[in-house]
Amino acid sequence: MTIEALVARYGLAALFAGAAIEGETVVVAGGLLAHQGLFPLPGAMIAAALGSFAADQAWFAAGRRFRGHRWVKRAQAKSAFAKALGMLERHPIGFIFAFRFIYGFRTVSPIAIGTTKVRARTFVLVNAVSAAVWGVVFSAVGYLFGNAFERFLGKLHPHGWTLWYIVGGFVLLGLAIAGVHWWRTRE
């Protein structure tokens, strides 16, 4: 099966999963692939937003349900957890909206918020709006810079395969960074 066929078949599902697991790198790559016409830009934006929303809802629910569990206690021991609670206390709605845009706070924040008295309904509503904005912004970045990216790649290699190697490299790099970050912060 060709790369185009794989992307055409699993592209948006893979983008959904990548947005949930890794984040921005995969979503920007999804915008680049939408620019290539492998799937529609609105579909990429929706898949990215839904993946991010679903992951953060799951982390929030885990923080709420397992407050006393040892893995939540380990998360509470991290400095980012305390910082997240401090920002949440000062600006609850603003922080719920912004945490996915702040490096190092994307995973720990919904867990931290889940351990507080923030109403689940409030979190769902603000998280949905934030995920929609995030999905649109990062998909659009990949899409809008697609022409420049293509010109750059065209200078490197005249064949279309270079794009696939670069996008695949970005996805792998993002997953590697996420893996290293997870390994270093798991305590």
- DSSP state letters, 63-119: HHHTTTSHHHHHHHTSHHHHHHHHHHHH-HHHHHHHGGGSTT-TTHHHHHHHTSS--
Write down the pLDDT at residue 161. 53
Tokens encoding 11: 């592209």
Write down the pLDDT at residue 3. 41
Write down the pLDDT at residue 4. 43
Report which of 153, 173, 174 is spatially closest to residue 163, judged by C-alpha positions.
153
Tokens encoding 176: 């590697």
Dihedral-angle region of residue 102 (phi above 0 means left; psi in -120 to 50 means alpha; beta otherwise): beta
Write down the pLDDT at residue 58. 94
Spatial contact of 51 and 17, defined as CB atoms under 8 Å apart:
yes
Write down the pLDDT at residue 104. 76
Average pLDDT along the chain, 187 residues, taken 10 residues at a time: 52 86 83 85 95 95 86 77 86 91 83 90 96 95 81 55 63 75 66
Q: pTM for the whole thing?
A: 0.74
Write down the pLDDT at residue 2. 42
Write down the pLDDT at residue 187. 54
3-state secondary structure at position 1: coil
Write down the pLDDT at residue 35. 86
Spatial contact of 73 and 81, defined as CB atoms under 8 Å apart:
no
Write down the pLDDT at residue 12. 87
